[in-house]
Chains A and B, each alone.
Chain A
Amino acid sequence: MNFTDNIPDDALVIRNILRGNINSFEILLDRYQDHVSRIVRNHVPRDEAPEVAHDTFVRAYQSLGGFKGTGPFKHWLAKIAIRCCHDFWRGYYQNQENLAGPLPDDCRDWVDHLLADQSAERDAERVEARDLLQWALGQLSASERTVLTLTHLNEYSAAEAAELLDWSVIRVKVQSHRARKKLRKILSKILPQGIA
């Protein structure tokens, strides 16, 4: 007997949910909570991630009727998660109070320290590095931020990012290139005087 026979596949679970057995959705939650968690953790602030993951599953449930089953459910869910993250940033940037303020002094000190010695690996673990990255990303648009996070920080290929964002590959390449150039320009402004 095959052990996996007792584990219903995604298609079967989805069919059950669509028939009205809402409790079957817990199976999908079990299976994909970590997957969604990893995606949203990489895209939105940590304190917002559970809320965005929650929205992802709610939206997935609402849209379940449109899942055709032509590709894995995991990819379909990832697409929804990315869109939820993108929507999060769109809403975030619409609130003027959330726009990036001045760079914290700690981050500036971290840059000086980093450029002064070779301990990049150790420095990379510091909170200031993450704060600096968030500060710089905060000056990009929601789309630029999302595409750059996918392609540059998470190393998705242009084709994969295009699939997730429902964009063309060309658009992903162009936006990603522009966003990275913009990010480097932002970072270059915080370099100490005399260093180019």
Chain B
Amino acid sequence: MKSSKKPLDKIEAALIAAYRKQEELQFPPDWRQQVMQDISSMAGPTAFPQEKKVRTMIPRRIGALAAVAVAAVVGWLILANLDRYDPWITLKPDLADLESHAAFWLEAGDVDSGLRHVKVTVIQKEMKIEVLSRNLEPPGGIWHTTGDAVKKVDFPLALDAQALGLQEGQATLVITARDLSWRNWFRGRSTTMKKEMVIYYKKSP
């Protein structure tokens, strides 16, 4: 009859059986004398040597529970604040030529954490002019504890090239939106829209 035991179990069982069938130990004849000699040459008995234990002010279990709680809170904060999408920007109408006066409609938004900041600048040659800078951060900042995040904004954007000191010719309109997420070391995700335009002034009739 073939054994139904797995080979490994069989080996293990045989090894345990072999281990338990050990013969009595034979001590050398002078063994006891040696022990007595050694203890006679020693100083008197002292305390039982305890293994070194690390003593902390906080019991180990409470410390472990606190660590788990902190890890859970940090994990939740990170998961809740590391959003997946960049903010979005649209600018209407889609003009390539810009008269001295132009009116746009700017829309920006962020589906996850909400908007933190929208900024519009015009760059012409070495000149960089800030047209608009709108802080949309709720009162609690990135924690927005005391206010709701702004998910979408839309507002008119009027550009008066002459008033801004722009000259006729090539210019770049740069619109940047930044969100409230913790990405980029708490600076948030950002989207930049660049629009190349040609500025010209209407000739007086």
Q: How many pairs, one residue from A and one from B, have CB atoms within 8 Å of each other in the complex?
A: 126
Q: Are B8 and A124 in contact (CB under 8 A)?
A: no
Once bound together, how far apart are the Cα atoms of A153 and B22, in whole Å? 12
The total of chain A residues at the interface (CB under 8 A) is 54
Q: Is B165 interfacial (CB-CB < 8 Å)? A: no
Known: A53-B27, A61-B45, A188-B8. A120 touches B36 (CB 8 A): no
Task: Say which residue of B14, B22, B39 sits within 8 Å of A61 (CB atoms).
Answer: B39
Of A4-12, A14-22, A92-100, A138-146, the one with at least 4 CB within 8 A of chain B: A14-22
Q: Are B14 and A29 in contact (CB under 8 A)?
A: no
Q: Are A191 and B7 in contact (CB under 8 A)?
A: yes
Q: Is A175 interfacial (CB-CB < 8 Å)? A: no
B43-66 CB contacts (< 8 Å) to partner A: 44-51
Q: Is A65 interfacial (CB-CB < 8 Å)? A: yes
The A contact surface, by secondary structure, is helix
Q: Are A153 and B20 in contact (CB under 8 A)?
A: yes
Q: Are A63 and B17 in contact (CB under 8 A)?
A: no
Q: Are A115 and B15 in contact (CB under 8 A)?
A: no
Enumerate chain A residues within 8 angstroms of B49, measured Cβ to Cβ.
Answer: 59, 62-63, 66
B15-49 CB contacts (< 8 Å) to partner A: 15-22, 24-25, 27-28, 31-32, 34-36, 38-40, 42, 44-49
| Most A-side CB within 10 Å, residue of B1, B3, B8 | B8
Task: Say which residue of B28, B45, B51 sits within 8 Å of A65 (CB atoms).
Answer: B45
Q: How far is the CB of A170 from chain B (nearest CB, A)?
A: 11
Enumerate chain B residues within 8 angstroms of A29, measured Cβ to Cβ.
Answer: 32, 35-36
A-B contact pairs, 7 of them (CB 8 A): A26-B36, A37-B25, A40-B25, A50-B27, A61-B42, A64-B45, A133-B19
Identify 16 new A-B residue pairs, CB closer than 8 A, beyond the known A25-B36, A66-B47, A130-B19: A18-B44, A23-B36, A53-B31, A57-B39, A62-B45, A65-B46, A115-B7, A118-B1, A123-B14, A124-B14, A124-B21, A129-B18, A152-B16, A187-B12, A191-B7, A191-B11
